[in-house]
Amino acid sequence: MKPKDRLELTWIGKYDEVKAEPRTLIEDVEKSYGDKNSQNMLIKGDNLLALKTLEQEYTGKIKCIYIDPPYNTGNAFEKKYEDGLEHSQWLTLMKPRLNLLKNLLKENGTLAIQIDDHEYARLYLLLCEIFNEKNLKTICVRMSEPTGVKMSHAINNGRIPKLKEYIVIAKKDGIKDLWIERIPKEKWDNEYKTILLNVSRDEINFIKSIRDNEERDKESIEACDKILAKLQSQTLSIYYKEKGITNEKEKLNFNFENSWRIIRTVSTSACVKLLADKKRVNTAAKFFTIITPQRKMYIIKNGYNDVMGDPRIKMIFSDDYLTLHPGDIWSDIKTTGLDNEGGINFKNGKKPEALVKRIISMATNENDVVLDSFLGSGTTAAVAHKMNRRWIGIELNGHCDTHCVPRLKAVVDGTDQGGISKAVNWKGGGGFKYYTLN
């Protein structure tokens, strides 16, 4: 029933009830691959019916959803998608699916939808109704280079070349807790040569948030010390050997990928050293915090010689000095030369693995569940798999078999060394189960 007295987007068929009954998922064991106990799911079928079916088990359990729905550009992707729907039809397609996706999200989960100019405005207004505008954020991402024949043709014909697309972020609990990978702002400083072990990114982010908040309380300081007490550290050179990282480019990529936990120590003031000398008497922890009379918080690396006048004791993180936050304009991700990424061809529809990695990184931790209900060529599932996330992918068309299955088999086997594989040191493993809808 149409609500009264509300500013909203309307279209033909908006209030027509779309009924979707849950079905039964039937595993095709001949197409399932790898670890037989895998919880990863590749589902071939209509995504509305599949999402309705997943509701029974996954309501409130999905941590991150990334979808790249048809853009309604008036052009079909080599007849793979009927991508020329009228605006009303497109909105009628999206509305029930977005409602189901919201139901599947955890309370602190994140939905990311990539779209271009054709439907961005209508999609945003629809999401305002479903999630509330305060829970939305739009990121502009560069998806084309300002060079090449298409660009020249557009410019010569008086048109403004299309370089960008949008990623609309939606959450149930407000736009917060979204950690975004920082990007290099200069060359690596080899003084940062110690890596922290036995700690998660979330824990480091928590410590930094307390460090930077001078209104911190006693409980939060104790929580930081508890995290720091379990930390282990190792030199990068030894870590490289243990992980088989030998190539200099791979080392550099690894350093920037892990800059959140790569550190150096520097000397500090006599006042700070005096506070550290007093606290270290009562702790065996390798790292601990001190608070100055001015409410400044420092992280101290234990084991120093307290007789030395100027020892290096204050820990600083490389990402605070060698990287920068990309903000809401992402122009640093390579979008050319992706034709063979994943070992399959998917003209005009494939998204860079690095882009999907950034989205999954900012919203999840290892073992969280990632969902893509417009799986396309399988990029989201491939990236989630390499990042040790559980994943669910849904695709209706035949290339579920011709594109997704071979791509994901190569990921499991470790033979797919393109995309983000080297950046995350992917060597293979795991598996997936293949399902159809009854």
Amino acid letter, 294? Q
Q: Could you list the beta-strand ranges (E) of 143-258.
A: 164-171, 183-184, 194-197, 232-235
Q: Counting beta carbons within 10 angstroms of the beta carbon of residue 167, is it exposed (0 to 12), middle (13 to 18) or buried (19 or more)? A: buried
pLDDT tens digits for range 47-90: 999 999 999 999 999 999 999 998 876 553 444 455 556 888 89
From CA 347, how far away is CA 377, in angstroms rounded? 10
From CA 178, how far away is CA 170, in angstroms rounded? 11
Q: What percent of the chain has pLDDT over 70?
A: 95
Q: What is the largest CA-CA distance in the chain?
A: 79
Phi/psi of residue 236, each to 5°? -60, -35
For 285-291, the CB contacts below 8 A with 24+ separation are 285/225, 285/228, 285/229, 285/231, 286/228, 286/231, 286/232, 286/233, 287/228, 287/229, 287/231, 287/315, 288/225, 288/228, 288/229, 289/211, 289/221, 289/224, 289/225, 289/228, 291/221
pLDDT tens digits for range 403-428: 999 999 999 999 999 999 988 889 99
The pLDDT, as a whole number, for residue 349 is 72
The pLDDT, as a whole number, for residue 78 is 47
**Average pLDDT along the chain:** 90
**How many CA atoms are closer than 13 Å to the CA of 266, on its beta-carbon side?**
9
- Evaluate if residue 108 carries a pLDDT over 90: yes
Domains along the sequence of the chain with CATH: 25-181+326-437 (3.40.50.150), 183-324 (no CATH)
- Evaluate if residue 8 carries a pLDDT over 50: yes
Q: How confident is the model at residue 298 (pLDDT cuts 50, 70, 90)?
A: very high
Quick one: average pLDDT of 168-179?
88
Which region among 171-180, 222-231, 398-407, 418-427 has the lowest average model confidence (pLDDT)?
A: 171-180
pTM score over 0.75: yes
From CA 129, how far away is CA 125, in angstroms rounded? 7
**Top mean-pLDDT range of 33-42, 185-194, 346-355, 396-405:** 33-42
Which region among 16-20, 235-239, 329-333 has the lowest average model confidence (pLDDT)?
A: 16-20
The pLDDT, as a whole number, for residue 194 is 97
From CA 108, how far away is CA 285, in angstroms rounded? 33
The pLDDT, as a whole number, for residue 181 is 82
- Evaluate if residue 1 carries a pLDDT over 70: no
For the CA atoms of 45, 124, 335, 108, what is the dihedral angle to 10 degrees? Answer: -70
Quick one: average pLDDT of 294-315?
89
Q: How many CB atoms lie within 10 A of CB 118?
A: 16
* Nearest to 164, CA basis, from 137, 148, 141, 139: 141
* Polymer length of the chain: 438
Name the residue with higher pLDDT: 179 or 97: 97
